[in-house]
Structure 1
Amino acid sequence: MAAEKTVVEKLENLYNLQTIDSKLDELEILKGELPMEVSDLEDEIAGLNTRIGRLETQIKDMEGEMVQHEHNIAEAEGLLERYSKQMDNVKNNREYEALMKEQEMQRLEIQLSNKKINQIKRDLEAKNETIAAAQTRLETKNETLKVKKIELEKIIEKTEKEEQKLHKASEKARKNIEDRLLKSYDKIRKNYRNGLAVATVERNSCGGCFNRIPPQIQLEISQRKKIIACEHCGRVLVDDETAGIAVAEA
């Protein structure tokens, strides 16, 4: 069974991990907002493609509906012609009235179908305009994405080896820290934008939140007998010796 690490070792291991992770954070800052911008653009492009596809399906359905109405008109016109011929051979008023009623129904059918065709034409025009606007926007987004990806790829190319090296070092450093401390470290890092979970004492203040640290607490930190967190921000505090910083001579 591995021997329990001393407080000094725990503090040194925590500060070492923080140093490595801070370098990784710097590489992420170098990338800036590009990864998020690329991801957002890809989501927008996927959304536009989905919308265009949905509109194209709707247009196809509407065109099919218009063909059906045109077929209904042709069929009604055929029936009108047939009923017109039958009018020449009616034998009584009852047959005449029945044919007149059928003709009126077919005329109404033609009128209704023409009305629906005109409405479909207007809807098609509107949807085609929407598709054209969406396609223009899609082209713009694709061009922007292309530029952003090239920018990001150039940065990644410059930093990839260093990033891989640091990730391996971070994984190795994490193995030297007990789970309880590691969970606390990760939690604190997530709480702050700069990812600083372990801070040095600078000018009698916490190097993370810059609040003043009482002399007695500073003394305890320098003694390295226990792990001490800043009472204001919760960051683990280490002295210059632990951090490997040369103390300037007074």
Structure 2
Amino acid sequence: MASVKEELILLYEYQTLEKQSKILEASLNNHMALKELGKLKREMSEEKSSIDSKRERFLFLDKELKKVEKKINEFTDEIGQFEERIYGGEVTTIKELNALKDKQELLQDRTKKSEESAIEMMEEIEILSKEIEKSQEIIDTIKKEYSEKRLKTCQELGKIKEGLESIEVRKTKLENTISPELLNIYKRIKKNKPNPVAPVIENSTCGGCMTELSIMIADEVMRSEKIVYCEHCGRILVKQ
């Protein structure tokens, strides 16, 4: 069975492991690379949304362009038919001839406007095509960076997890060595104060609340024959 002095040393070691565990857990949860990975995922998502929107517009324009091209072909055929009627000798009166020419000019005007619309669509389709290609290149670059960073991050987080597991094994071993009574006292104090075990530092000062101890308390700590508490903060005192 361990002496009070030995148990206090083990308890102080247990507290140190808890502090290390807390630091590693914070490092695990707040790892900078996780934020960077999150940022890359957001950038990738934004680019994908942009591509989806551009592709949707691209497909719409492509569909509309085919409709316009079909109209242009129909207009061209009709204009050709009017040409035949106007110059083929079929029309015998000036009135009919002028009416046909008016219809032909109207179709020519519609054809011109349709061709202008088709050109605008083709230009926009070309721009969209280049933008989609550029966005895809950006996504591919982000994917590569994400994969490399994720692999490195997994390795770093793996080491942290290994450290935590090692600490948990050591803590369990200490818990089985330290008396349940002392552990209960430790946990009770911890509910109200961080670091329930405080070393006595120079000038007989409590390392927890940094208050000077009385000579009697300091002397009892040095003897390490029983559990001694700081008369100011109530922490368990151990010899430095």
TM-score under structure 1 length normalisation: 0.60
Deviation digits for residues 218-238 of structure 1, max 9, x if unmatched? x9x9326xxx7xxxxxxxxx7
* Identical columns (%): 12
Counterpart in the other structure of 2:51: 52
Question: Which residue identity does 2:230 align to in structure 1?
Answer: S
Q: Which runs of 5+ in 2 are unaligned?
A: 1-13, 172-182, 218-228
Cα contact 1:76–1:110 (8 A) shared by 2: yes
Superposed displacement of residue 70, structure 1: 0.9
Counterpart in the other structure of 1:75: 74
Counterpart in the other structure of 1:4: none
Distance between the aligned counterparts of 2:148 and 2:34, measured in 1?
A: 12
Distance between the aligned counterparts of 2:114 and 2:52, measured in 1?
A: 27
Question: Which residue identity does 1:143 align to in structure 2?
Answer: K
Deviation digits for residues 203-228 of structure 1, max 9, x if unmatched? 87997xxxx97879xx9x9326xxx7
2:224 counterpart of 1:223: no
CA gap 1:115/1:239 in 2 versus in 1, 3 angstroms: same
Distance between the aligned counterparts of 1:121 and 1:92, measured in 2?
A: 43
Structure 1 window deviating more from structure 2 (123-132 vs 21-30): it is 21-30
CA gap 1:167/1:79 in 2 versus in 1, 3 angstroms: farther
Instruction: Count the aligned residue pairs.
Output: 194
SS of residue in 2 equivalent to 1:223: coil
2:194 counterpart of 1:198: yes
TM-score under structure 2 length normalisation: 0.62
Q: Which runs of 5+ in 1 are unaligned?
A: 1-15, 186-196, 229-237
CA gap 1:97/1:164 in 2 versus in 1, 3 angstroms: farther
Distance between the aligned counterparts of 1:17 and 1:36, measured in 2?
A: 30
Counterpart in the other structure of 2:101: 100
CA gap 1:153/1:215 in 2 versus in 1, 3 angstroms: same
Superposed displacement of residue 93, structure 1: 2.9
Counterpart in the other structure of 1:20: 18
Distance between the aligned counterparts of 2:82 and 2:206, measured in 1?
A: 101
Question: Which residue identity does 2:105 align to in structure 1?
Answer: E
